[in-house]
A and B are shown apart, each in its own frame.
Chain A
Amino acid sequence: MNYRRSYFIFTCLVFGFAFLYVPILSMVFYSFNASKLVTVWDSANSPTLRWYASLLHNDEILDAAWISLKVAVINASGSVILGTLAGFGLARFTQFRGRFTLNAMTTAPLVMPEVITGLSLLLLFVALEQWIGWPAGRGLTTMTIAHMTFSMAYVTVVVQSRMATFDTTLEEAAMDLGALPIKVFFVITLPIIFPAILSGWLLAFTLSWDDLVISSFTSGPGSSTLPMVVFSKVRLGVSPEINVLATLTITVVTIMIVGAGLWMSRAAKLETAAD
């Protein structure tokens, strides 16, 4: 590699990652600040865990977190089923009626502005309620359905790209040895693409957990999610409890990312070694 260029690239990398991480690290840093003003460091009383304790007693945030968790888990599980079917179908079946439409419907949500998706889903629910009485009012059900609709598009992409590098001779060998296609899917394909499905689940979970706009449109009274609560607080300015929340979130995400990274490299070794 050309040495002249590498200094430039190296500098870009350093500044780029600094740009990405300085805000995150500053949030973590100031979560230990005793001052209510968050960014004005109160050296007399800091560092402190005062806001951590206060967060644990904040019912509004805890209730919202619980609701977010419920929605995210159901959403992730449902999206994974829908997304795996769609991703598998699009990757494996090169021709079927409606393929173009399915492909379009699974790529559009990836780029569609959330305000449009949110608005359209709310209007659908309102129309459905008028027409057949279901869903009755907005709440967890409507939010979950809305989340599943856009999450499954992401899962589809993940599964579809995994299937693109999947060794089809493994499926052919299984059929050659007497297994029916549906058995091949469950006994051979699924176990091998499992890491991709897992990452799809995590992706759907995270998208749902963090979602603000679509949740705002499709939620009802008493079903405020965590991002909705955070947003209403943050509109007014900084709040130390939000810093604590951010720190906790970042910690969890870091652990999961590192863990997932280790898992994936192990799984990749299995696959490449098999030919």
Chain B
Amino acid sequence: MANSGEAVKAAPWRDPRARPYVEIERVTKAFGDFKAVDDVSLNIYKGEIFCLLGASGCGKTTLLRMLGGFETPTSGRILIDGEDMTGVPPYERPVNMMFQSYALFPHMNVEQNVAFGLKQDRVPRAEIAERVATMLELVKLGGFAKRKPHQLSGGQRQRVALARSLVKRPKVLLLDEPLGALDKKLREHTQFELMALQDKLGVTFLVVTHDQEEAMTLASRIGVMDHGEIVQAGTPSEIYEFPQSKFVADFVGSVNIFEGKLLEDEPEYVRIGSEELGGTIHVSHGISAAPEATVWAAIRPEKIFMSTAPPVSSGQGNDNLVRGAVQDIAYLGDLSIYLVKLPTGKVVRVTQPNTSRHAEAITWEQQVYLSWDASSPVVVTR
């Protein structure tokens, strides 16, 4: 899926020699005693689509606004393409923002809106006309130049806002919840359009969103934020398959988390005994944790196998196997979600694709066996 761009395919964040395009150095923003953004450091590379993902109030919008110049950091620096942007007002930054409400000037038509930024830069009139026309074609609003914002639909207004901020060829484009106002079908369509546009123009995008599906689709990398801090940054698959904390595991997608204690701690595997689970978990990779520490094993619902008959032995004895009774079923068409209650009382969430149209369905109250592969659990220590 997705994360196009030659520069980004090379995963520059793993290359210690690559120079970051946007450097956020230990930035804090405090309002009185309250720290909206707390000592955040982040590097963003040219051509990336970087998503800041978090719930409302986590500080992501404040961070975005600091990049745009609408808030000043209480401490820390922000560098864009090597230049220190501290104290630089928004009208002097090589950065443009696409606002959540689009903020189209109601008294100007589409053409005038898009041309506004170029006029401020005193670009010659002929060039303005040309660039505006090209950009409108690019966002597929070619014939709409003379219309006023109130004559456009929500999706069209969004494209005008996009055109307006991109026509200045900014170094970084900041997007504040770009798809929030659109309905589901339009949202999906626009996600792909955005990515195609970004790929074509090569602009670095920084997107702020609370919608994890949006983040997972759009982003080359995601930064998960909570209470003003970035708790984990990585590619979508890294975030999903290798969360580093319970918070991240739970925030992106759904997950089952079992608390337990380390029974065996070897370099190639660990075994965790969990009272919640009423059983043991065998994980096929080592972890670093203090002895006797409490750990949590996170297992995604799609990675749990559910069967009415006991599964063929996997050579792990009674590890990674429990019995339970189906408490609730939600049929979603392409897959079904099962809530299975274990004897310990814990409810486990299992999803299964409905691969066959006439399969013998598992029903309520049915006794089932739950098992998973030893590579499936992710162990987190916080």
Contact = CB atoms under 8 A, between A and B. Distances in A.
Contact of B106 (A174, A176, A273): A273
A174 B105 contact: yes
A59 interface: no
B149 A273 contact: yes
Q: How large is the interface on B (under 10, 10 to 19, 20 to 34, 35 or more residues)?
A: 20 to 34
A188 B112 CA distance: 12
A177 B107 CA distance: 17
A245 B268 CA distance: 101
Interface string A181-205: 0010000100110000000000000
Contacts of A167: 101, 103
A271 B91 contact: no
Contacts of B97: 172-173, 176
A172 B165 CA distance: 13
A176 B105 contact: no
B121 A178 contact: yes
B117 interface: yes
A194 to B, nearest CB: 9
Contacts of A273: 106, 149-151
B99 A172 contact: yes
A175 B148 contact: no
B70 interface: yes
Chain A CB count within 10 A is highest, among B70, B104, B106, for B106
A180 B106 contact: no
> Nearest 4 pairs between A and B by C-beta?
A273-B150, A178-B120, A177-B117, A274-B106
Given A172-B97, A192-B106, A270-B148, 18 more contacts: A169-B99, A169-B103, A170-B106, A174-B105, A175-B69, A175-B70, A176-B69, A176-B96, A176-B165, A177-B165, A178-B117, A178-B168, A188-B105, A192-B105, A270-B106, A271-B106, A272-B150, A273-B151
Interface of B: 68-70, 89-92, 95-97, 99-107, 116-117, 120-121, 148-151, 164-165, 168
23 contacts: A169-B103, A172-B103, A173-B164, A174-B105, A175-B69, A175-B89, A176-B69, A177-B116, A177-B164, A177-B165, A178-B92, A178-B117, A178-B121, A179-B116, A183-B120, A192-B106, A270-B107, A271-B106, A272-B150, A273-B106, A274-B105, A274-B106, A274-B150
